Amino acid sequence: MSQYHSKAVDEDGLVAWSREEDAIWHDLMERQLSLVQTHACQEYLSGLTRLNLPRDRVPQLAEINQVLLPTTGWQVEPVAALISFDRFFQLLAHRRFPVATFLRSRAEFDYLQEPDFFHEVFGHCAMLTNPNFAHFTHVYGQLGHAAKPELRAYLARLYWFTVEFGLVNEGDQLKVYGGGILSSPGETQAALSAMGVQREAFNINRVLRTPYRIDIMQPIYFVLRDIDQLYQLSKLDLMAEVERAALDGLYPPLFSAKEFDHVQ
Ligand SMILES: [Fe+2]
C-alpha cells in the first residue's frame, strides 16, 4: 500500500502542483544538480541539458514530451502511485515511461522507497533522450510484456542493475547512468566512492542471478564499458539468457538473512 496518491491530470494534460510541491521540487533540483555534474555520465548530462527542466516549479508532462518525442519517440505516461508488472511492461513496450504524478513529502526528502515524480523525471528522462538507452528500454518492455510471469523477476533484476542502479566507464572514470542513483544524493556519492561496495564489470548472467533489495543502499553495482553496451545487449537473445539464469539459480544475497523478506 502506498501512502501517496498520484495527482489528477486534467483534460489539458496538466497537473495542479501546489506552491509547497514547487518548493520541494526546487530544493530537490538544487541539491542534485551540483552532484550530477560530477557524478553522472555524459549521455545523462546532455539529456538533462536538452530537457531544460525548470528549477523553481514542477514541470508539466507536456514539457518533457516536447523533448522526448522528437528525440527518441518516447513519452511520459501519468500513472497511479503503484502499477502492476503487466502495465509497466506494456507501457515500456509502447515507448511510454510510467510517471506517478506525486512528489515526496518534506518528511521523506532524503529517502523514499516509492518512485515519485522527481525520481522518474530527474532520474530517468534525461537518459531516455539517448538512442541506445531508449532502444534498450523499448526492447526490454517488449520482452517483459511477452515473458512468462515466473521469468519476470529475472527481468526485474536486469532493469534494477541497469536503468535504476547502473554505472558506466567513461575514459578512466566511473560514472552513473542509473536513475535510482541519480535521484538520491546519498546513493549518488555511495555508488562511486563508498568503501566495501562491489563494483563489477557488467555480465548478463551474473546480473540476472543477483538478488537485490529496494530499501537499502546497494551493496553491488554493475559497470558497463559504455552506454553502447546497452544497445548490444538489446541484440542478444535476452530471454534465452533469462532461461539459462533461471536454471543456474540465484547467487547468495549480499545482505543479511533476516532482511531477506524484501529480496527480489
Ligand atoms: Fe525508477
Task: Give pLDDT, residue 215.
Answer: 85
For the chain, domain boundaries: 19-248
Contacts of 80 (CB under 8 A, 6+ apart): 5, 6, 100
C-alpha 225 to ligand 1 mean position (Å): 22
By mean pLDDT, which of 20-29, 59-68, 188-197 is the weakest? 188-197
Task: Give pLDDT, residue 112.
Answer: 81
Task: Give the three cell numbers for residue 262.
Answer: 524484501
> Is 119 among the annotated ligand-binding positions?
yes
Residue 219's H or E segment, with its range, is none
Torsion of CA 57, 61, 64, 66, to 10 degrees: -120
C-alpha 179 to ligand 1 mean position (Å): 6
Q: Say how far apart CA 184 and CA 110 lie, in whole Å.
A: 7
pLDDT band (50, 70, 90) for residue 113: confident
Task: Give me the active site residues, please.
Answer: 119, 124, 164, 183
Contacts of 2 (CB under 8 A, 6+ apart): 81, 82, 114
Cα–Cα distances in Å, from 8 out to 12, 81, 89, 120? 11, 12, 23, 17
Asked if pLDDT for residue 263 goes beyond 70, the answer is: no
pLDDT tens-digit map of 143-183: 999 999 999 999 999 999 999 999 999 999 999 999 999 99
Q: Over the chain, what is the mean pLDDT?
A: 94
Task: Give pLDDT, residue 1.
Answer: 58
CATH architecture observed for domain 19-248: Orthogonal Bundle (1.10)
Task: Give pLDDT, residue 24.
Answer: 97
What's the chain's length in residues? 264
Q: Say how far apart CA 121 and CA 97 lie, in whole Å.
A: 10
Q: Say how far apart CA 219 and CA 196 lie, in whole Å.
A: 8
- CA-based torsion, 16, 18, 21, 22: positive or negative: positive
C-alpha 104 to ligand 1 mean position (Å): 14
> Is 164 among the annotated ligand-binding positions?
yes
pLDDT band (50, 70, 90) for residue 257: low
pLDDT tens-digit map of 185-227: 889 999 999 999 999 999 999 999 999 998 888 999 999 999 9
C-alpha 154 to ligand 1 mean position (Å): 17
pLDDT band (50, 70, 90) for residue 239: very high
Task: Give the three cell numbers for residue 38.
Answer: 560530477
Q: What is the largest CA-CA distance in the chain?
A: 52
User: pTM of the prediction?
Assistant: 0.94
* Residue that is written with C-alpha cell 502495465 in the block: 87
| Phi and psi, residue 175, nearest 5° | -130, 170
> Is 94 among the annotated ligand-binding positions?
no
Mean pLDDT of 24-39: 96
